[in-house]
Amino acid sequence: MSPAASNPTGPRGEAPDYDVAIVGYGPVGVTAANLLGAMGLRVLVVERDTDVYARARAISTDEEVVRIWQRIGLADTLTADMLADRELTFVDADGRTFLAFTPQPVGNGHPTQLFIYQPALERTLREGATRYPNVDVRLGHDCVGIAQDDDGVELSVRPAGPVDAAATPAWTCRSSYVIAADGGSSAIRSCLGIGFEGRTYTERWVVIDTKVRRPWPEVDRLRFHCDPERPAVDCPTPLGHHRWEFPVQDGDDEQRLTSTDGVYELLAHQGIGPEHVEILRAVIYSHHVRFADRWRDRRVFLAGDAAHVMPPWLGQGMASGVRDVDNLCWKLATALDPQLPDTTRELLLDSYEAERMPHVRSITRAAVFFGRVITERRPGAAAVRDHAFRTICRLPGVGAFLQNGGWFPTTRYRTGLLGQAHRRRGPARETGTHLPQPWVLDQHGHRTRLDDALGHTEWAVLHTRARTGTDLDAWRRAGIPLVELRPAGSDPGPGAVVDIENVLITRFARAGVSAAAIRPDAIVYAAAGTRCPLPPPLGGMRAVDRPAAPA
């Protein structure tokens, strides 16, 4: 249902210069540029800095985010520069392990957890965006003003940094929609007068990025040093890098703490010296928990840190922002269809915050709890924690749940753009879930991932051979592909995929599903059994031809 780039007219009758403008070109903004570029939309990117930010901020991501990058054809290139499936270890004040596990996959077809080196990741994503001549990237520029009307947004843009306003006047352009991905101090959010409520923790942390000179036994694992005297995080990052994080304590001299001598004094407590690592940089920052009051202001949408910031304990800050634009971009593309009814367009665009906000809040709560476990400063409470985790991990079922990461908030939407209400039993319990991605045989018999077989920017209806009835006709009339899901051992063929390991076949059978409508972001819009109809597409939504994007 992604439309071609449309040309609704502005207040003076002229077409907008761009379909979507993106302010901010970090991991969230550049992912959005790739997604929209692949859809054939006309995209403007405005970014203050002239190059990738040199400091590694995010250090990990997960399989769901890599699946999003798979949709833009960059997953394999990106993961080549990542570390996958490393063990997570929690140690007490004496260095003894009280919890250790490797996160288990949840079905997205990629390694569960991956450690990244953010500058390298961003360069690859930016290189990917150069595939699309329809993406206009303006580095070294600021968006200094926006003005909305019923037909679009006017942006004022000028070179960043100190300039002579008279000699370098701002130039203006129009865009149908704007994505503000300009970080926690978002100028766009401030310009719109959107509040950013929450708290900043009083405890500050020093973050140390290093280059490994000589490896040590634990160099390739993530360790949480849960020492009440001074907790620490010890994290591998790829391409020969490693990171440590320590809290700044009362009486610490922050300037000395970030000096070379101060850093090596901290690392000495971990048995690390100059022979092991070269210090690249050390900076001090504070943890925040903040949410924008609203994520949409008419035609402007906040994404990533501009909409929400969270503590780093689960490594989900960047990942949540990438999920934001994955949810938003196809909706903006659909909203550009000039034949889409206004009521459907508003429902579509309002669903962005309705779906993403609850999920981000649940991850933030988990991150805050996780941080409290790691940074417990009371020796008695820490001793109870260590003993409790050792005991729990020995219990059948409970220990496996904890060690397999079953406690981690999965992507599931209860409200938003869904064709039916989620229920505890029956086919409708699949509604709003993130569809697993198994390996399949496509119609030509080639082994590939499900998303690659279905296509990345369109809806699809998956159905089993047992499915009959006229309820699929509405989807067929809307131009949505109907794809038969065949069990392992079947022959592939036109309009069909073979589930090589019966992953979805088994899942659908357990839920009584014989047909499911899948959104472009792999969320199940609706599911039906053999005796209940599949809800039709949202009113007026249809498949629309769009310009072919470069491979």
Q: What confidence tier does 4 reach under pLDDT thresholds 50, 70, 90?
A: very low
Contacts of 364 (CB under 8 A, 6+ apart): 289, 308, 310, 311
Give exposure, 160-186, as e/b (b: 16+ Cβ within 10 Å): beeeeeeeeebeebbbbbbbbbbbeeb
pLDDT of amino acid 405: 66
Least confident of 54-58, 183-187, 199-203, 546-550: 546-550
pLDDT of amino acid 406: 65
Q: What confidence tier does 432 reach under pLDDT thresholds 50, 70, 90?
A: very high
* Stretch 315-321: mean pLDDT: 94
Does pLDDT of 521 surpass 80? yes
Does pLDDT of 166 surpass 80? no
pLDDT of amino acid 14: 56
499 burial class (0-12, 13-18, 19+ CB within 10 angstroms)? buried
Does pLDDT of 293 surpass 70? yes
The pTM is what? 0.93
Distances (CA, A) of 504 to 76, 145, 261, 436, 507: 24, 48, 56, 7, 5
pLDDT of amino acid 55: 74
pLDDT in tens, 245-274: 999 998 899 999 999 999 999 999 899 999
pLDDT of amino acid 510: 94
Task: Tell me which range, 30-44, 153-167, 459-473, 520-534, is most confidently predicted by mean pLDDT.
Answer: 30-44
Domain ranges in the chain are: 18-79+113-197+289-371, 427-528
pLDDT of amino acid 252: 92
pLDDT in tens, 480-495: 999 999 999 999 999 9
Q: What confidence tier does 167 reach under pLDDT thresholds 50, 70, 90?
A: low
Q: Given the DSSP bridges, would you call strands 482-486 and 460-463 parallel, antiparallel or unpaired? A: parallel
Task: Please tell me which residue, 423 or 236, carries the higher pLDDT value.
Answer: 236
* Stretch 326-331: mean pLDDT: 97
Task: Please tell me which residue, 88 or 168, carries the higher pLDDT value.
Answer: 88
pLDDT of amino acid 1: 45
* Stretch 227-251: mean pLDDT: 93
Q: What confidence tier does 2 reach under pLDDT thresholds 50, 70, 90?
A: very low
Q: What confidence tier does 28 reach under pLDDT thresholds 50, 70, 90?
A: very high
Identify the CATH class of 18-79+113-197+289-371: alpha beta
pLDDT of amino acid 88: 86
Q: Are 376 and 228 in contact (CB under 8 A)?
A: yes
Q: What is the topology classification, in CATH, of domain 427-528?
A: Glutaredoxin (3.40.30)
